[in-house]
Structure 1
Amino acid sequence: MSRKKDFSEVCVLAEEFSHENGILKRENNTIEPLPCTLLPSPVPAKLLRFVENIQADFNLLYHKVSLDHEFIESILKHVIPQDDYTAHLWKIYMNTRSEGVLQGVFLGLTRSDYMLHLDPAKERSNPTLAQRLLHTEQASAFAPDFSGENSWPNLSVRQVELNFIATSFGGLAQRMVLQHRLALSLCGFPPSAGERVPDCSAGDKFADALALAQKIYQERRNELCGETGNGSSHPAVLTIVSEQEKNIYDQRVTLSCLLLRHPNIPILVRSFEQFQENSDRLKIDEKRRLFVDGEEIAVVYYRHGYTPEHFSNDEIWNVKYQLERSLAIKCPCIQYMLVNTKLIQAALTKPENLSRFVHPASASYRNLLSTFAAQYPLSEKFGINSLDEINRVVQKCLANPHLYVLKPQREGGGNNYFGEDVPRMLRSVFDNGVSESYVLMERLYPYVVENYILNTPNSTERKKIVGELGIFGAFIGCGEKIFLNEQAGHLLRSKPVEANEGGVAAGFGCLDSPFLV
Structure 2
Amino acid sequence: MRTYDKTDVALPLAPRNEEETTVLLQEALGMAATTGLLMRSAGGSRTDSAHVKPAFCHAPVCLLPNALPVQEYVKARRLATIWNLLVARIAHDGPWLLQTLASVLPHDEFTRRLVEIFQAINGAGRDVQKIQLGITRSDYMLHAGESGSGSPELKQVEINTIAASFGCLSTQVTRLHQYLVQKVLGHSRLSSKSFILPHNETMRGLAHGLAAAHKEYLRQESVMFKPSQPSRPGRRPCVLMLVQADERNINDQKLLEICLWEEFGVLLHRATLLEVARNAHLDLQRRQNLLLVSPLISDTGEEDVQEAEVEVTVAYFRAGYDPSDYSSEGEWKGRELIEMSAAIKCPSISHHLAGTKKVQEALCRPGVLERFLKDAEDVDAIRNCFVGLYGLDPECEGATAAVAAACNSPQHFVLKPQREGGGHNLYDQDLVEALSQMTAEERAAYILMEKIRPPPFEAFFLRDCSVLRGLAVLELGVYGVYLGDGEGKRVILNESVGHLLRTKLASSHEGGVAAGFAVLSSPLLVGGGEDSGILSKKYFSTLREFTMSARVWRRQRFWKIGATGIAFWGVGLFLTYIAVSKRSGKLQ
Superposed pair shares fold, TM > 0.5: yes
Find the counterpart in structure 2 of residue 160 from structure 1: 157
Find the counterpart in structure 1 of residue 469 from structure 2: 462
Find the counterpart in structure 1 of residue 34 from structure 2: 20
In 1, distance between residues paired with 2:22 and 2:204? Answer: 34
Matches within 5 A, 1:243-262: 243-262=245-264
Find the counterpart in structure 2 of residue 83 from structure 1: 108
In 1, distance between residues paired with 2:29 and 2:59? Answer: 10
Q: Deviations over 1:320-344 (max 9, x none)?
A: 1111101110110011011110001
Find the counterpart in structure 2 of residue 336 from structure 1: 351
Larger CA deviation: 266-275 vs 438-447: 266-275
In 1, distance between residues paired with 2:453 and 2:466? Answer: 25
CA contact under 8 A between 1:3 and 1:188: conserved in structure 2? no
Indicate yes or no: 2:16 matched with 1:8: no
- What is the DSSP-based 3-state SS (H/G/I as helix, E as strand, rest coil) of the residue aligned with 2:367? helix
In 2, distance between residues paired with 1:280 and 1:470? Answer: 36
In 2, distance between residues paired with 1:299 and 1:108? Answer: 11
Which residue identity lines up with residue 487 of structure 1 in the other structure?
Answer: S
Which residue identity lines up with residue 104 of structure 1 in the other structure?
Answer: K
The offset of 1:281, in angstroms, is: 4.2
Find the counterpart in structure 2 of residue 237 from structure 1: 239
Find the counterpart in structure 2 of residue 106 from structure 1: 132
In 2, distance between residues paired with 1:166 and 1:215? Answer: 21
Which residue identity lines up with residue 417 of structure 1 in the other structure?
Answer: L
Matches within 5 A, 1:316-331: 316-331=331-346
Which residue identity lines up with residue 453 of structure 2 in the other structure?
Answer: Y
CA contact under 8 A between 1:222 and 1:228: conserved in structure 2? no
Find the counterpart in structure 2 of residue 423 from structure 1: 432
In 2, distance between residues paired with 1:186 and 1:418? Answer: 42
Matches within 5 A, 1:100-499: 100-123=126-149, 153-193=150-190, 196-225=196-225, 230-231=230-231, 235-263=237-265, 265-276=266-277, 279-286=278-285, 287-293=287-293, 294-359=309-374, 362-381=376-395, 385-386=396-397, 389-430=398-439, 433-456=441-464, 459=467, 461-478=468-485, 479=487, 480-499=489-508
- Considering only CA atoms, is the larger Rg found in Structure 1 or Structure 2? 2
The offset of 1:189, in angstroms, is: 4.2
The offset of 1:515, in angstroms, is: 0.5
Find the counterpart in structure 2 of residue 133 from structure 1: none
**Structure 1 residues 430 and 454: alpha-carbon distance in aligned structure 2, compared to 1, 3 A threshold:** same
Which residue identity lines up with residue 245 of structure 1 in the other structure?
Answer: E
In 2, distance between residues paired with 1:508 and 1:227? Answer: 54
In 1, distance between residues paired with 2:270 and 2:500? Answer: 25
Percentage of matched positions with identical amino acids: 30
**Structure 1 residues 193 and 450: alpha-carbon distance in aligned structure 2, compared to 1, 3 A threshold:** farther
Larger CA deviation: 224-233 vs 69-78: 224-233
The offset of 1:185, in angstroms, is: 2.8
Q: Deviations over 1:361-418 (max 9, x none)?
A: 621111011001211111143xxx41xx122222221121110000002434321011
Q: Give unmatched runs, 5+ long, in structure 1.
A: 124-152
- What is the DSSP-based 3-state SS (H/G/I as helix, E as strand, rest coil) of the residue aligned with 2:438? helix
Q: Deviations over 1:193-216 (max 9, x none)?
A: 467211111110111111110111
Which residue identity lines up with residue 380 of structure 2 in the other structure?
Answer: R
Q: Deviations over 1:437-475 (max 9, x none)?
A: 10110001112121111124751x421110000000000
Find the counterpart in structure 2 of residue 139 from structure 1: none
The offset of 1:346, in angstroms, is: 0.6
The offset of 1:3, in angstroms, is: 8.1
- What is the DSSP-based 3-state SS (H/G/I as helix, E as strand, rest coil) of the residue aligned with 1:62? helix
CA contact under 8 A between 1:181 and 1:194: conserved in structure 2? no
The offset of 1:62, in angstroms, is: 0.9
The offset of 1:236, in angstroms, is: 0.7
The offset of 1:184, in angstroms, is: 1.5
**Structure 1 residues 345 and 36: alpha-carbon distance in aligned structure 2, compared to 1, 3 A threshold:** same
In 2, distance between residues paired with 1:93 and 1:186? Answer: 53
Q: Deviations over 1:278-329 (max 9, x none)?
A: x244443332011112111111111111111111121221111111101110
The offset of 1:506, in angstroms, is: 2.0
CA contact under 8 A between 2:72 and 2:154: conserved in structure 1? yes
In 2, distance between residues paired with 1:488 and 1:351? Answer: 30
**Structure 1 residues 280 and 155: alpha-carbon distance in aligned structure 2, compared to 1, 3 A threshold:** closer
In 2, distance between residues paired with 1:248 and 1:4? Answer: 33
In 1, distance between residues paired with 2:120 and 2:409? Answer: 45
**Structure 1 residues 464 and 400: alpha-carbon distance in aligned structure 2, compared to 1, 3 A threshold:** same
* Structure-2-length-normalised TM-score: 0.78
* Structure-1-length-normalised TM-score: 0.88
CA contact under 8 A between 2:483 and 2:492: conserved in structure 1? yes
Find the counterpart in structure 1 of residue 48 from structure 2: none
Which residue identity lines up with residue 230 of structure 2 in the other structure?
Answer: N
**Structure 1 residues 4 and 274: alpha-carbon distance in aligned structure 2, compared to 1, 3 A threshold:** closer
- 1:503 pairs, out of 485, 491, 512, with 512
Q: Deviations over 1:190-244 (max 9, x none)?
A: 2224672111111101111111101111122233445575137962111111110
Q: Give unmatched runs, 5+ long, in structure 2.
A: 1-14, 45-54, 294-308, 527-588
- Larger RCO, structure (CA 8 Å, separation 6 or more): 1
In 2, distance between residues paired with 1:194 and 1:465? Answer: 24
In 2, distance between residues paired with 1:366 and 1:401? Answer: 29
